[in-house]
Amino acid sequence: MLVKINSINEEKHKVKVTMLDIDDFGGIIALEKLELDLPYNDDSIIYILKNSSYAAIFTKDNNNTIVLANGITLDELDSEKKKTIDTVLNKK
């Protein structure tokens, strides 16, 4: 899922995020605020989230624990928005 990182509590191994979506016109839509668990055995996820404003994250099935995170820069986010717009325009 695409998220904006709101805050990280390393002591409690929690991260607050806003789940996002990109609409057909390239606008960013906030869908839902979530509090997710950080893994206790993987500091790399904490490092990625601390150094990113946006991220693509994956969680365990039926669980709130993040198992994979990939930081996304504003340039990469803009590129994804452009791809979405281009896809919609090419369908018409």
Q: Is the pLDDT of residue 71 over 80?
A: yes
Domain housing 70 = 2-91
SS3 state of residue 4 = strand
Residue-averaged pLDDT of the chain: 92
CATH number (domain holding residue 69):
2.40.50
- Single-letter code of the amino acid located at 7: S
SS3 state of residue 39 = coil
pLDDT in tens, 14-58: 999 999 999 888 899 999 999 999 998 889 999 999 999 999 999
pTM: 0.85
Other C-beta atoms lying within 10 Å of the C-beta of residue 69: 25
Number of domains in the chain: 1
- CB 15, CB 5: distance < 8 Å: yes
- Residues 6 or more apart in contact with residue 1 via CB below 8 angstroms: 19, 56, 57, 58, 59
